[in-house]
Structure 1
Amino acid sequence: MTTNDLILKYLDIWNERDAVAREALMRSVLTEDSFYSDPDNAGLHGHAELSQAIGKAQPSFGDLRFTLDTVISTHHDRALFLWRLGTVATGYDVVEFTGDRISSIIGFFV
């Protein structure tokens, strides 16, 4: 799986409204002990905490979906990319890979 493929699958996690389907995506994309942080969530550990935060945030998204804008740069086991939530929000994420899965996500809102 390419870096772009993995990032796209990660964004699919944020777009998935069904918690069971979201957990299945998480198992294929994120390490079990994955770490997530953004301006609204300071240090979520593992699938359950991230899934709960996503489920809590999704009602505010309406029908908007996350899309990948640009993978800005990659080096070693990290990538920086720009995402969009419809036309109303933009952000940057730095992801760290362990093997063929994401182990850490640090998000920034613009």
Structure 2
Amino acid sequence: MSINDGLVERYLAVWNEPDADRRRKEVAEIWAEDGLYANTGREFHGHEGILEAVTEAYDEFVAQGFAFRLHAHAENHNTARITWNMAPRSGGDVAARGTQYLVFAEDGRIRTDHQFPEEI
């Protein structure tokens, strides 16, 4: 999978996905089985760990009326950078912004995903 295969849209959609079964399916398709997602507070390993992180973000932000939206992205060989904004779903000022640095496995799924919050 690469950005050209719609990864950016799928990546952001999984964080906004209300259906728990669909989130589980998307995590398995987007991240490698032994993938790593790391934010500034914790590391999450494998599909179950990454699903835990996605669900926590959904419950804390999306279920409370926010949405994650694309700000910018770029691809460089087997890596990518995705910058996103989090803002009220109904519109309004950006409440948070972050950048994800992704490294892809041989099969195109995400091997590592590191989040860096940014000041807005």
Q: Secondary structure at the match of 1:80?
A: strand
| Structure 1 residue 28: Cα displacement | 1.7
Give me the whole-angstrom Cα distance separating, in 2, the residues matched to 1:63 and 1:55: 15
| Contact map agreement 1:67 1:83 (CA 8 A) in 2 | yes
Give me the whole-angstrom Cα distance separating, in 2, the residues matched to 1:44 and 1:2: 22
Aligned positions, number: 108
1:80-103 C-alpha deviation (Å, 9 max, x unpaired): 121111121100110011232111
Match of 2:115 in 1: 107
Give me the whole-angstrom Cα distance separating, in 2, the residues matched to 1:48 and 1:2: 22
TM-score with structure 1 length normalisation? 0.86
Give me the whole-angstrom Cα distance separating, in 1, the residues matched to 2:72 and 2:19: 27
| Identity rate, percent | 29
Structure 1 vs Structure 2 CA RMSD: 1.6
Match of 1:63 in 2: 65
> 1:56-95 counterparts in 2 under 5 A?
56-61=56-61, 62-71=64-73, 73-86=74-87, 87-95=94-102
Structure 1 residue runs of 4+, over 3 Å off?
A: none
| Contact map agreement 1:19 1:51 (CA 8 A) in 2 | no
TM-score with structure 2 length normalisation? 0.80
| Structure 1 residue 19: Cα displacement | 2.1
Q: Secondary structure at the match of 1:96?
A: strand
1:12-32 C-alpha deviation (Å, 9 max, x unpaired): 111123221101111221111
Mean Cα displacement is larger for which, 1-10 or 91-100? 1-10
| Structure 1 residue 2: Cα displacement | 4.4
